[in-house]
Amino acid sequence: MIRAHTVEQVRAAEAVLLAELPEGALMQRAAHGLAYAVLDLLGGGYGRRVLLLVGSGDNGGDALYAGVVLARRGAIVEAWLLSDKVHEAGLAALRAAGGRVRRLDTSSPGGSDYSTSQGPVSSPFDVVVDGIVGIGGRPGLRPQAVAALEAVRGIPVVAVDVPSGVDVDSGEVSGPHVTAEVTVTFGTHKIAHLVDPAAEAGGVTHLVDIGLDLPAPALEALQPADVAALLPRPASQAHKYTRGVVGIRTGSTTYPGAAMLSVAGADCGLAGMVRFVGDAAVLDRIRTVRPEIVGDGRVQAWVVGSGSHQTAEGQLSATLDDGVPIVVDADALEFADMVAGRRAVLTPHAGELAGMLGADRHEIEARPLHFVRRAAEAYRTTVLLKGRHTLIAHPGRPVRVTTTGTPWLATAGAGDVLGGLIGALLAGGLTPYDAASVGSWLHGAAATYASQGGPIVAGDVARALPAVVASLPA
């Protein structure tokens, strides 16, 4: 499991270690981890040109001490100081290691004056280390930082702890911020590493263990071993009914494809049987390609909503009496009040969640974590907000984030496959929270597997599911 903690949690854990360790030890751990990540990116140190952007706090201190390590490996290191106040011991160490230092003229309102006692900016750099702000920063960047970043635009950036300027605890972005290739973080992931839009700004995250002892996380991301452990697998004495039956009430004569794709997601082999309840002509079409699909009967989970058109309300209310968990998707989300407080997974994309909460789609996209939590509280059930990094919220549980997938998954009908898959996992006995997060992980992994870097359609995702399940650790 990848776990992410709030700044407050990190500060508290850090305080315990700071009291135990010699002064500066924690920063040395962080700086060494950072330096080795930079060496990794550059393929070595000797002769490489490294620019450190150094802010006023310990984030800048990390950058300065990493600069020391890099200078000792033969790198040509230059630091641009963005504030009159900097980590003095780190600065002295960098100077002693042969690093060059430029003090930005912070009196210049635009912050664009880089002329210093040592002359104007000259050579380009191989990498920029963003030590502007870390977990102590407020969202946005000051003009000096913006100007410095502008001057080095196009050069790969390694962010220290977080890409400066993002809101660390929400993953929101409300002003200028760094966009990094790699973010090197310490002790644990922060929320901004996993939640968009900040997560996208940080590039690949590299975690350096500094020995923090941390409480339960605010956020978590399943890894293959977690998915393998949660996956419902057939017992040796299993039969189809003990494995669970999933019922699909989706599609319509107008949208038969939605029914076919929901069934494809459900019919991935993770449930014992799949029932389709709907238009007879649609069932006939499904059976021409999937002869194993049966009609109405008892189920352990329902999937309702995609392509239901005007029948969504009736389809949803028809499922309620069974008292089994329900996946509520697409057209049925308008009637999600009906499942408030029940075992359910609501699966909106940003536009659908906007409709449910009376918000604007752009607001949801800018603050997905805030809104998915709000929806889970409002409906007192599991809510899965689809996107590049899908979020799954359930009252009282850490939000789960899905980091599998590819942008090629943004294709018509992919959501129908996901709904069916989550239904199969519910039928297999997972809780709505686990079914949603395991389903979302498998769906993203299947998309990546099917895509191999190229385009895919929704049916390809469903077809790849068995191979992805088979590739999980035993």
Ligand X SMILES: Nc1ncnc2c1ncn2[C@@H]1O[C@H](COP(=O)(O)OP(=O)(O)O)[C@@H](O)[C@H]1O
Q: Of the ranges 292-300, 368-376, 402-410, 426-434, which one interacts with ligand X (CB under 6 A)?
A: 402-410
Sign of the C-alpha dihedral, residues 80, 82, 83, 88? Answer: negative
Minimum distance, C-beta of residue 375 to ligand X, in the bound complex (Å): 16
Query: According to CB under 6 A, which one of 1, 115, 138, 216 is a site residue for ligand NPW?
Result: 138
Query: According to CB under 6 A, which one of 53, 62, 261, 381 is a site residue for ligand NPW?
Result: 62
Minimum distance, C-beta of residue 29 to ligand NPW, in the bound complex (Å): 7
Residue 2 in contact with K ion, rule: CB under 5 A: no
Query: According to CB under 6 A, which one of 45, 57, 163, 197 is a site residue for ligand NPW?
Result: 57
Instruction: State the DSSP H helix or E strand holding residue 301, giving kind and residue range, or none if neither.
Output: strand 301-304
Q: Of the ranges 141-149, 213-221, 371-379, 399-407, which one interacts with ligand X (CB under 6 A)?
A: 399-407
Q: Is residue 349 a known part of a binding site?
A: yes
Q: Collect all residues with Cβ–Cβ distance below 8 Å to 11 and sequence separation of at least 6.
A: 135
Q: Is residue 140 a known part of a binding site?
A: yes
Residue type, 152: V
Q: Collect all residues with Cβ–Cβ distance below 8 Å to 95 and sequence separation of at least 6.
A: 101
Query: According to CB under 5 A, which one of 6, 83, 164, 185 is a site residue for K ion?
Result: 164
Sheet of strand 326-328, all strands in order from the earlier edge strand to the far edge:
189-190, 2-5, 219-221, 399-401, 391-393, 382-385, 344-346, 326-328, 301-304, 245-249, 273-276
Pick between residue 82 and residue 248 the one whose CB is nearest to K ion.
82
Q: List the single partner that 56 binds among ligand X, ligand NPW, K ion, none, CB under 5 to 8 Å by kind.
A: ligand NPW
Outline where 155-203 has alpha helix (H).
191-194, 198-202
Q: Is residue 55 a known part of a binding site?
A: no
How far apart, in whole angstroms, are the C-alpha atoms of residue 429 and residue 171? 33
Q: List the single partner that 155 binds among ligand X, K ion, ligand NPW, none, CB under 5 to 8 Å by kind.
A: none
DSSP secondary structure letters along 227-275: HHHHS----TT--HHHH-EEEEE---SS-HHHHHHHHHHHTSSSSSEEE
Query: According to CB under 6 A, which one of 3, 14, 113, 431 is a site residue for ligand NPW?
Result: 14
Pick between residue 86 and residue 376 the one whose CB is nearest to ligand NPW.
86
Residue 415 in contact with ligand X, rule: CB under 6 A: yes
Residue 180 in contact with K ion, rule: CB under 5 A: no
Please, are residues 421 and 435 in contact by the beta-carbon 8 Å criterion?
no
Interface of this chain with K ion, residues 73 to 132, rule: CB under 5 A: 130
Query: According to CB under 6 A, which one of 416, 421, 430, 437 is a site residue for ligand X?
Result: 416
Residue 59 in contact with ligand NPW, rule: CB under 6 A: yes
Burial string for 226-244 (b: 16+ CB within 10 Å, else e) reads bbbebbbeeeeeeeeeebb
Query: According to CB under 6 A, which one of 142, 249, 275, 367 is a site residue for ligand NPW?
Result: 142
DSSP secondary structure letters along 5-37: E-HHHHHHHHHHHHHHSPTTHHHHHHHHHHHHH
Q: Is residue 5 a known part of a binding site?
A: no
Residue 195 in contact with ligand NPW, rule: CB under 6 A: no
Q: Return the number of other C-beta atoms located less than 10 Å from residue 297's C-beta.
A: 10
Give the CA dihedral 134, 137, 143, 145, nearest 10 degrees.
-10
Please, are residues 266 and 420 in contact by the beta-carbon 8 Å criterion?
yes
Query: According to CB under 5 A, which one of 160, 182, 227, 376 is a site residue for K ion?
Result: 160
Interface of this chain with ligand X, residues 338 to 377, rule: CB under 6 A: 349
Pick between residue 132 and residue 442 the one whose CB is nearest to ligand X.
442
Radius of gyration of the chain (CA): 26
- Which of these, 256, 131, 108, 196, lies nearest to 402 by C-alpha position? 196
Residues in touch with ligand NPW (CB under 6 A): 10-11, 14, 26-27, 30, 55-60, 62, 83, 85, 132-138, 140-142, 145, 160-161, 186-187, 210
Residues in touch with ligand X (CB under 6 A): 349, 386-388, 390, 405-407, 409-410, 412-416, 418, 443
User: Annotated binding site for AMP, which residues?
Assistant: 386-390, 415
